[in-house]
Amino acid sequence: MNVLLVTVDSLRADRVNPEVMPATRAFADDALEFTECVANGPSTPASFPAIHASRYFASIEGLGLPEPGRDDAIRTLAETLREEGYATAGYTDNHFASGSYRYDRGFGEMYDASGAAEAGRLKQFVQSNLDKDGPLFKTIEAVYNRADAVFASATGNDSEYERAESLNDRALGWVDDRENEWFAWLHYMDAHHPYEAPDEYQREFLDEPLPLARCRGLSRKGTHHPEEVTDREWELIRGLYDAECAYVDDQFAALLDALDDRGELDDTLVVFTADHGELVGEHGHAGHPPEFWEGVLRVPFVVAHPDRGAATVDGQVRLIDAAPTITDALGLDAFDGWEGASALDLADGEVEGREYAFADVGRQIEYARCCARRADGWKLLRHADDGEFCFDVRETPDERPEDDRTGESPPEYAELSRALDDHRERMRRMREGGSRGIDEDDEMVEDHLKDLGYME
């Protein structure tokens, strides 16, 4: 059986609905849909160790994965499937999910568009070769949005990232050349800010399409200066985000249709998920800040197995369960060092849900930003200097300040605190055990953060 893993950057679970993503909604209705999947971090660097290696971000010193052969406690899904004879290929346009951070481990072919796109190379040249204190760099920075639009026009790219349609074409070309079982991973970047969907998708959610520079300007304002965003601008940001989600919907459907036309789909396990969600005005933010609100942590998780019927599974699962779920679906043993467990246990009624889901971010602040979410919906958020928050998100899903229960000191708060303290201590021991990725102080990391819009 083949394996197709599609991850969508920044896709909230609630956007998989008939109005925004009807094709994906129909796909989920015909598959195993896990309605309470929790991302193990609010960003790509925090989530992809969970997806590819079933490891918490906080268990590895630095970003990404260790070098192959340097840490026997870490093995990726791709390495596991390649050992079983699968041809393996990955397609991504996110630096933090690329070979730069060793996510090419186990992939016979890795297409990392972020290192190949002309626009990416041009921006990288500016970042690397101009004096950041000099007048030319400061001028470019001051007109960043307009310069981006000029770069896009000059290089023929109408998007900050390579479009899902292009990644589909590359992956399908690779599939056409396969004679044995294959594992393909595609990571769509379209729903990641800046939201700049093609005009026909913008027309579905806005009165009229916005120019590229306006799209990017709104994104930067919402991400870096949300206190300045007007109500009308929040409406535009939400419409642009939904337009990108609608574009992703069409491209995911096109990929499945193309595999069906090739006679591949009936023998392919398809897993659809996201690395994290997105805020579009909630809590005064856009994008995915290092915080743990439901809009950031709740992601879709859908498994379509050729030999399994459709079902909706409400128990809590986590992204660290992705790799064990895939190997279980294939009848393979999970790697002993994986932190997660197969979500198929929930679908089969063997367990009711994972008792705790943990999320972490940030070595440089000693993981003081972290979260524990219990299967019954109780949740503790630690936002470092911003304080702690405790919610029953099933009762108060909006997580408003008045819903915070920390002042009441309910027993659930004490239980979540103990669980989160234990998790942080275990992560510390694992880091000290020698699992090392890319140092967060590496200059490359800062460049990639700027490329992806996390830093101005």
Distance from the first to the final alpha carbon of the chain:
45
Reported as half-sphere exposure (CB side, CA atoms, 13 A), residue 3 has a value of 26
Q: Is the peptide bond before 300 cis (omega within 30 degrees of 0)?
A: no
Q: Please compute Rg for the chain using Cα positions.
A: 21
**Helix, coil or strand: residue 304:** strand
Phi, psi (degrees; rounded to nearest 5) at 36: -125, 65
CA distance 160 to 196: 8
Give the Cα separation of 430 and 422 in Å (integer): 12
Give the whole-angstrom CA distance, residue 247 versus residue 156: 19
Give pLDDT tens digits along the chain (456 positions): 999 999 999 999 999 999 999 999 999 999 999 999 999 999 999 999 999 999 999 999 888 898 887 767 899 999 999 999 999 999 999 888 888 888 999 999 999 865 543 344 444 444 444 454 555 544 554 454 444 444 444 434 567 889 999 999 999 999 999 999 999 999 999 999 999 999 999 999 999 999 999 999 999 999 989 999 999 999 999 999 999 999 999 999 999 999 999 999 999 999 999 999 999 999 999 999 889 999 999 999 999 999 999 999 999 999 999 999 999 999 999 999 999 999 999 999 999 899 999 999 875 556 789 999 999 999 999 998 889 999 999 999 999 999 999 999 999 999 999 999 999 999 999 888 766 555 555 555 555 555 555 555
The encoded tokens of residue 131 equal: 């004096």
Question: What are the CA-CA distances from residue 225 to residues 196, 253, 401 (Å)?
Answer: 19, 35, 21
Q: Which pLDDT score, from 0 to 100, does residue 366 have? A: 67
What pLDDT does residue 145 have?
45
CB 360 within 8 A of CB 427: yes
Residues in contact with 62: Cβ distance below 8 Å, sequence separation at least 6, in sequence order? 363, 436, 437, 438, 439, 440
DSSP per-residue codes, 368-432: -EEEEEETTSEEEEEEGGG-EEEEETTT-TT--GGG--GGG--HHHHHHHHHHHHHHHHHHHHHH
* Amino acid found at 292: F
Among 219, 403, 372, CA closest to 297: 372
Query: By the 8 A CB rule, do 249 and 21 touch?
Result: yes
Rounded Cα distance, 120 and 451, in Å: 8
The alpha carbon torsion through 11, 78, 353, 331 (nearest 10 deg) reads 130
- Distances in Å between the Cα of 364 and the Cα atoms of 66, 242, 368, 369, 434 are 18, 33, 9, 10, 17
Superfamily (CATH) of domain 2-117+157-355: Alkaline Phosphatase, subunit A (3.40.720.10)
Domain boundaries defined on the chain: 2-117+157-355
- The CB density around residue 400, as the number of other CB atoms within 10 Å, is 11
User: For residue 321, which amino acid is it?
Assistant: D
Its pTM stands at 0.87
> Which amino acid is located at 162 in the chain?
E
Task: Classify 1 as helix, strand or coil.
Answer: coil
What size, in residues, is the chain?
456
Residue 386, both tokens: 């911003």
Res 140: pLDDT? 53
Residues 6+ apart with CB under 8 A from 227: 284
